[in-house]
A and B are shown apart, each in its own frame.
Chain A
Amino acid sequence: MRNLLFIGIAALVTLNSCTSKPDKLPVLGNKQPVTKMVDGKQVTDTAYATIPDFKFVNQYGDTITAKNLNGKIYVADFFFTTCPSICPVMHRNMLNVYKEFKDDDNFRILSHTIDPKYDTVPVLKRYADKMGISGNSWWLLHGNKGDTYGISKSYLQSVQEKNPAGQFIHDGFFILIDKQKRIRGTYEGTDPKEVDKLIADIKTLKAEPEQAVAK
């Protein structure tokens, strides 16, 4: 009888550990301890790296700053329209993210061109049209090279000017940013399985209480 009880408890514990899903995504990037006063007491908190303010222009010619993303969860990547290697694969996969969340006004996709000389605003608009992207859920962003390459570092990404073979080099990651502008995940954009995980993680992130209330 005692054995039976033991097995029953063991089974319950096992079942429970199987069903409990991680309901919070990690926060990535550098963190620093911050000491502040709360109610007259000294409290030490953790400050996570955030994406700094920026200013770019989207495919419609509208200026986009960090303010336009207040209250929004977004995914960022780096590409250029004439990229023959990984970009078509990345954006074939990103199209799935777009289709899943395009009706959610609190979600955006930001694709930064790393070839602003060729990828002017009209070129980006044409690319968007040909990709079948409409509305404001997926912004293709043009900016000066220094700004784009600078912000790529905040997204933990590496982009470079042309290599000796005359090509741009860049990482193919999709970066998930929360409403507090913190990095919550990085996903290999060329791998459909990772992009499926990104879609699942966006849903998890949207359900976090902290995200649900943030404006």
Chain B
Amino acid sequence: MKIKLIIGIFLFIMITAIVSSCQSDAQVEFSRYYAGGASIYQEHCQNCHGEKGEGLQSLIPPLTDSIYLKNNKKLLACFLQNGLKGKITVNKSDFDDEMKPTDLAPIEIAKVLTYVTNSFGNKMGTVNLQMVEGDLAKCR
């Protein structure tokens, strides 16, 4: 009886291990970027944009507007690197305060964008280093 139980537990662990190793490379990449992005977000973004990406009234835009993020997907990396000035419309509200440039490296930008565009109700998939480098090369 005891042996059966041990075998049972062993089998369960084996199956779990096999199933989790079956995670595709894409999923592994996503998890890596997302987890790294969460801590970068806390350190560099959360004070202003809020724990839940809620922003602050009409001063700081929320990060919960999937449409804005999708429409500006290729510009997000540039916003983080160079800051953002001028009027933007997010979630039907106008915002025209300045966001200061950050000193994040391209890999950090990729991670934090993966986090933001897949949190707060967004689901846009991984933003990897290659994509960020491509977008940064085209910054206006």
Listed in ascending order, the chain A residues whose CB lies under 8 Å from chain B are: 84-86, 88-89, 91-92, 95, 127, 129-132
User: Measuring CB to CB, which residues of chain B are less than 8 angstroms from any residue of chain A?
Assistant: 47-48, 50, 56-60, 97, 100
Establish whether residues B58 and A132, one from each chain, have CB atoms under 8 Å apart when the complex forms.
Answer: yes
CB distance from B99 to the nearest CB of A (A): 9
- Shortest CB-to-CB span from B55 to chain A, Å, is 9
Give the shortest distance, in Å, between B88 (CB) and chain A (any CB): 14
B59 touching A127, Cβ below 8 Å: yes
Residues of B contacting A127 in the complex (Cβ-Cβ under 8 angstroms): 59
With most chain B CB atoms within 10 A of its CB, the pick from A84, A88, A132 is A88
Say how far A170's CB is from chain B's closest CB, in angstroms: 14
Give every chain B residue within 8 A of A84 (Cβ-Cβ): 47-48, 100
Specify the chain B residue showing the minimal Cβ separation from A90: B47
Nearest CB in chain A to that of B97: its residue: A130
Complex contact A88–B59 (CB within 8 A): yes
Instruction: Name the residue of chain A whose CB is nearest to the CB of B50.
Output: A92
Query: A84's closest neighbor in chain B, by CB?
Result: B100
Q: Which residues on the A side are within 8 Å of B50 (C-beta)?
A: 92
Which residues of the other chain, B, contact A92 by a CB distance below 8 angstroms? Answer: 50, 56
Q: Tell which of B47, B58, B100 touches A89, judged by Cβ atoms closer than 8 Å.
A: B47
A131 to B48 alpha-carbon distance, docked (Å): 13
Nearest A residue to B49 via CB reads A88
A132 pairs with B57, CB closer than 8 A: yes
Check B47 against A95 for contact (C-beta < 8 Å): no
Are B47 and A131 within 8 A (Cβ)? Answer: no
A-side contacts of B97, CB under 8 Å: 130
